[in-house]
Structure 1
Amino acid sequence: MDPIRSPESINSFFINQIKGYAIFATDTEGIITAWNKGAERLKGYSEEEIVGRFYGILHPYEYQQSGVPEQELKLALENGIFEKEDWRKRKDDSLFWAKVMLTPIFSVDGQHIGFTKITGDISQQKELQDRLAERQQNALENKNKELRKINLDLDNFIYTASHDLRSPITNIEALMEILKGELQETNCLSADTEEVLERVLASVGRFKRTVEDLTEISRLENGIHENPSDEILNVKEVYEEIIADLDDPIKHKLCFVQTDFQVHQLKFSKKNFRSVLYNLISNAVKYRSPKRDCIVRIYTRLEEPYVVLSVQDNGLGINKRHREHLFGMFRRFHDHVEGTGIGLFMVKRIVDNAGGKIEVESEEGAGSKFTVYFKSSM
């Protein structure tokens, strides 16, 4: 065969015509044995300067010191190829962002005889990607700034509206009580009229509770970035205060509460912890099943890095399709008892704001278990 037209000669000629990529070969130890014109153009070394040297010279100095070139050879041999986008070094020590592909070479009989390396300069592509990423980051920051302003405006509106509504609601309630008294004194209060008055007063009461809840939501939203409380609370004391405040079901023994406080103290805002525990206990009592005795189990335990609070009941439970909406604002899934649907929303906000988490296990007709994880150094 004409040596000029041999496959080896044609391949060598073809590779040398590629100017946009550095293509070279090494032996099994990474010593450069062949070097194309594209490599000379991209790397700055002539064939005479580079052949016989370890290919690691083309890596940044810190890569050379940490053994990156040797690791690449090892990975290429193990996996059949090594590909990466990373920094590479020219002869003048300048760096460029490269796409590299290192492939082991084998003889006809399967013996490993060396490696081929293809390197492309993708610095412009990386620059465009970085600029795009920077624009996206700036757009995201501007959007977040806009959302924070909207949230602040909404919080201010909620606070102002709830504050301004308190006075007329209180006046309506007082006037209705006066009207009821006047009708009683003049013997004009019929059974139908009294029922209407009671319904109006009940509606006013629900309105008042909703306004109070909105005020509490505003307080929680404004406290998102506040420092965590240094207050150390006594779990049992807070629990006993809540039980004393709860109405008939506890006092009349319609519900039985079992406790196991393995953790007695917690570094947390007392009023926020009370709100969490109160809502969980009151919900367990409120949504008790009429088919069995109401039993509520409450315990705390240490599960680093959390203090865990669990409230479990044997009540009505929650339908599976409702669970994803459980912590939404004004969400209610049982209509036979009064409520604004705001309690669990506030519980989750308190827990989230403090860096904790809440989990729910529930089966419709069997009961629910709420587990709260408080981050604490106690």
Structure 2
Amino acid sequence: MNEKELRESLSTNFINQVKDYAIFAMDPKGMIVTWNMGAERLKGYCEEEVVGHYYGMLFPETYRQAGKPEEEIELALKNGVYEAHDWRRRKDGSHFWADVVLTPIYAGDGEHIGFTKVTGDITRQKEMQDELAKRHDALKDKNQELQRINLDLDNFVYTASHDLRSPITNIEGLVKYVKDDLSDAGCLSSETEFMLERVMLSVDRFKRTIEDLTEVSKLQKNAVELLSEEIINIETVYQDIIEDLGDPSDQPGIFIKTEFQVHQLKFSRKNFRSILYNLLSNAIKYRSPHRDCIIQVDTCLEDNAVVLKVKDNGLGMSKKQLRKLFTMFQRFHDHVDGTGIGLFMVKRIIDNAGGSIEVRSEEGVGSEFRVYFAAEL
């Protein structure tokens, strides 16, 4: 066997023994002239049933009636190759989703002498793609439904908090009137005064809760209307918060360290202030009574994000507490005032802005919050 015969033999045997793809040749008119084992396995026809027949027999009936086989030949000749994902037909009449490549073959003198056709069964891939598309659509519908529910809840919260303002203000006024009236009449005992003060404390807490609920309801509106972003100076916002907190470093046992590697951030000033204020005030409120309170506030650049870090050595949280950390009205310590809504608002602000927040905490050791903002400096 000479070299040419050897190459032809190897090529023929290789094609014939490929089992995962249908590989066959046709003459210039589309009549099948060769048929490999893969074609028999994939399409169900043996060689004797197809050789000498027009390759259109391998198409679904509707495709044949629409002239699809002729169209493929025309496009292959025009473009040099025809490639597509499409339906094909087996001998038993079943259809499968195929990856097809039809290529014109030319002799050395440029004469068109036929075509080669390679077909693979990618039905499983299509089923998986269709299933993923179906799940994506279902998730999209579910997400839209959740957005509607969230909007309805926000509207309810806003309406409820607004409607509660009037009666709680009336209660506050009535309690003050009763206290003043009893005092003027000389009938205000220490026990009665204590009870009225407790009522006023409850009223004040209720008012703070209403204010927090109002802020929560505004967050959704801000997500839709988008608070105007600006280039903010992080250290300026930090100093403003420190003044509002009464400069905690002046209190014995409280030390706040800062390292601002990133000084500016494109973000809503109001929302950034709310985030940093909540994280700082919580670090101070939940400090350990057994050691000095040390708080570290840093900013840095990581990948494509500006990171705000607030780390403390306070009371810390257990793994069970961490799972509920950003839930509305969740409080883990009762020795300080609070409505348990601050971190819920922080998480919502960050989510609405497309950022993220991470928490590392160990009970009795301390906590570290990391907030990731898009790095638009």
For normalisation by structure 1, the TM-score amounts to 0.68
Aligned AA (2:330): R
Match of 2:287 in 1: 288
Aligned positions of 1:348-359 closer than 5 A:
348-359=347-358
Match of 2:232 in 1: 233
Distance in 1 between residues matched to 2:248 and 2:147, nearest whole Å: 42
What CA deviation, in whole Å up to 9, does each residue of 1:73-104 have, x standing for no partner? xxxxxxxxxxxx965889xxxx972389xxxx
Aligned AA (1:152): L
The correspondence for 2:51, drawn from 47, 56, 78, is 47
Distance in 2 between residues matched to 1:201 and 1:248, nearest whole Å: 28
Change (3 A) 1:361 1:67: farther
Match of 1:300 in 2: 299
Match of 2:97 in 1: 97
Distance in 2 between residues matched to 1:377 and 1:186, nearest whole Å: 65
Aligned AA (1:370): F
**Contact kept? 2:296, 2:312, Cα under 8 Å:** yes
Aligned positions of 1:137-216 closer than 5 A:
140-216=139-215
Q: What CA RMSD, in Å, does the superposition of the two structures yield over aligned residues?
A: 4.2
The alpha-carbon deviation at position 137 of structure 1 amounts to 5.8
What CA deviation, in whole Å up to 9, does each residue of 1:307-352 have, x standing for no partner? 1111111110001221111111111111111111111111111111
What CA deviation, in whole Å up to 9, does each residue of 1:181-214 have, x standing for no partner? 3333333222211211111111111101111111
Aligned AA (2:51): E
Distance in 2 between residues matched to 1:311 and 1:121, nearest whole Å: 52
Aligned AA (2:300): R
**Contact kept? 2:229, 2:269, Cα under 8 Å:** no
Structure 1 unmatched ranges of 5 or more? 1-20, 51-56, 69-84, 101-116
What CA deviation, in whole Å up to 9, does each residue of 1:33-53 have, x standing for no partner? 64649859799x942589xxx
Match of 2:9 in 1: none
For normalisation by structure 2, the TM-score amounts to 0.69
> SS of the counterpart of 2:188?
coil
2:349 matches 1:375 = no
**Contact kept? 2:34, 2:51, Cα under 8 Å:** no
What CA deviation, in whole Å up to 9, does each residue of 1:233-285 have, x standing for no partner? 11112111111111585553442211111211111001100110010001000
The percentage of aligned residue pairs carrying the same residue is 53
**Contact kept? 1:314, 1:367, Cα under 8 Å:** yes
Match of 2:340 in 1: 341
Distance in 2 between residues matched to 1:22 and 1:296, nearest whole Å: 66
> SS of the counterpart of 1:223?
helix
Change (3 A) 1:249 1:171: farther
Distance in 1 between residues matched to 2:126 and 2:280, nearest whole Å: 56
Change (3 A) 1:336 1:233: same
The alpha-carbon deviation at position 354 of structure 1 amounts to 0.8
Aligned AA (1:212): E
Aligned AA (1:283): N
Match of 2:259 in 1: 260
The alpha-carbon deviation at position 172 of structure 1 amounts to 1.9
2:308 matches 1:309 = yes
> SS of the counterpart of 1:274?
helix
Distance in 2 between residues matched to 1:303 and 1:66, nearest whole Å: 48
Distance in 1 between residues matched to 2:82 and 2:145, nearest whole Å: 47
**Contact kept? 1:319, 1:364, Cα under 8 Å:** yes
> SS of the counterpart of 2:224?
coil
**Contact kept? 2:350, 2:356, Cα under 8 Å:** yes
The alpha-carbon deviation at position 217 of structure 1 amounts to 0.8
Distance in 1 between residues matched to 2:81 and 2:202, nearest whole Å: 74
What CA deviation, in whole Å up to 9, does each residue of 1:136-192 have, x standing for no partner? 666555444443332222111111111111122223223322332333333322221
Distance in 2 between residues matched to 1:263 and 1:129, nearest whole Å: 43
Change (3 A) 1:128 1:246: closer
Match of 1:330 in 2: 329
Distance in 2 between residues matched to 1:148 and 1:365, nearest whole Å: 38
Paired positions, count: 307
Aligned AA (1:47): V
**Contact kept? 1:260, 1:300, Cα under 8 Å:** yes
**Contact kept? 2:311, 2:366, Cα under 8 Å:** yes
Of 263-272 and 168-177, deviating more is: 168-177
Aligned positions of 1:101-140 closer than 5 A:
130=130, 140=139
